[in-house]
Amino acid sequence: MMYHKPTQTPTRRIIWLLVAGLLIVAAFGAFRSFQLRMPGFDQSAILIDGPPTETALLPSPPPVVAAAAPATATPQPEATSEPTPPSEMLAPPNDPPQFAHDGEIGIADGMVPEGTTVFDTDLPAIANLDPALLNALRQAANDAAENDVVFNVTSGWRSPAYQNQLLQEAIVNYGSEAEAARWVASPETSTHVAGLAVDIGPYKALDWLIQHGDNFGLCQIYGNEVWHYEYRPEAIESGCPEMYLDPTHDPRMQP
Ligand SMILES: [Zn+2]
């Protein structure tokens, strides 16, 4: 079988080299095509200049392929299939919708400027108080003023939205609903929302009320809230009733 070697001409050698070269090119092409169909193969470097039809076979085309898509194609499906959620759907789930508020809590909700007195009836916090409570407060304030004692109202009537905001803040500050309930009532049970309670300051006024409040039917209701007063007309005759330790002991605060 050595006969062909000495008889091989330069032309036949060139033909053999060409055939071998074609076989190598064909083998490489087949291997590359097989590579592109392998799941997980990192094709990004190849696909930058690869044929666009091969992108359909790939599980996750790299961004460079999408950017190379022709401008005449139909609108991108991603643009319509995943719309941005409206911002109002991102409201916290714990916010009860019945107390939803359009804007900031303000004067109309019962917030009081510093230095508010029981005579500031232009403020909703004062004007919306129960008339009997407000009348008793004014009589007491007039009496106390003769001893240079001024009643400041730190909180009076509150809207349900304002009360709910205070409750949500208290839950955050006290760490639990149970502990917050010792200090802040719900919008449904709050005597402030009902217009039946005021918070009074400063301590000089509270000291005066401890001594004389029952003469006007003004009583501290909770042992842990020295500033919180309500109207108890029977106190004028028989003194203020025994206090609750805190609001959780008040039957009115039960949900
Ligand atoms: Zn109060």
Residue 68 maps to a domain: no
126 Cα: distance to centroid of ligand 1 (angstroms)? 13
162: which 2 tokens?
A: 């304002």
| Domain residue limits at 128 | 86-253
Contact by Cβ (8 Å): 115, 151:
no
Task: Examine the domain organization and report whether 122 and 218 are in the same domain.
Answer: yes
Q: Give the per-residue pLDDT at 16.
A: 60
How far, in Å, is the centroid of ligand 1 from the Cα of 145? 22
Q: What is the largest CA-CA distance in the chain?
A: 140
- Let me know if residue 64 belongs to a domain: no
Same domain? 248 vs 165: yes
Residues 26 and 106 in one domain: no
**Same domain (yes/no): 190, 114:** yes
User: Domain check: are 35 and 102 in the same one?
Assistant: no
Say if residue 161 is in the same domain as residue 225. Answer: yes
**Looking at the domain assignment, is residue 123 inside a domain?**
yes
The pair phi, psi for residue 43, each rounded to 5°, is -100, 5
Residue 98's pLDDT is what? 54
Domain assignment present for residue 62? The answer is no
Residue pLDDT tens, the chain, 255 long: 445 554 556 667 755 655 555 554 555 455 454 444 444 444 433 333 433 443 334 444 444 444 444 444 444 444 444 444 443 334 333 444 456 566 789 999 999 999 999 999 999 999 999 999 999 999 999 999 999 999 999 999 999 999 999 999 999 999 999 999 989 999 999 999 999 999 999 999 999 999 999 999 999 999 999 999 999 999 999 999 999 999 999 999 987
Q: Rounded to whole angstroms, how far apart are CA atoms 91 and 178?
A: 24
Structure tokens at 117: 């007195």
- CA of 1 relative to ligand 1 center, distance in Å: 114
How far apart CA 76 and CA 15 sit, in angstroms, is 52
Q: Is there a contact between 143 and 212 (Cβ–Cβ < 8 Å)?
A: yes
In a domain, residue 114? The reply is yes
Distance 18 CA to ligand 1 centre (A): 100
Same domain, 155 and 201: yes
Residues 48 and 140 in one domain: no
* Residues, CB within 5 angstroms of ligand 1 (ion): 197, 199, 228
1 belongs to a structural domain: no
| Count of structural domains, the chain | 2
Cα R_g (the chain), whole angstroms: 41
- pTM to 2 decimals? 0.61
Report residue 187: phi and psi, to 5°: -60, -30
Please tell me whether residues 133 and 20 are part of one structural domain.
no
Q: Are residues 48 and 99 in the same domain?
A: no
d(CA 131, ligand 1 centre) in Å: 17
Give me the pLDDT at residue 63, please: 43
Q: How far is the CA of 93 from the centre of ligand 1 (A)?
A: 27
pLDDT, position 254: 84
Pair (49, 110) in one structural domain: no
**What CATH number is attached to the domain comprising 145?**
3.30.1380.10
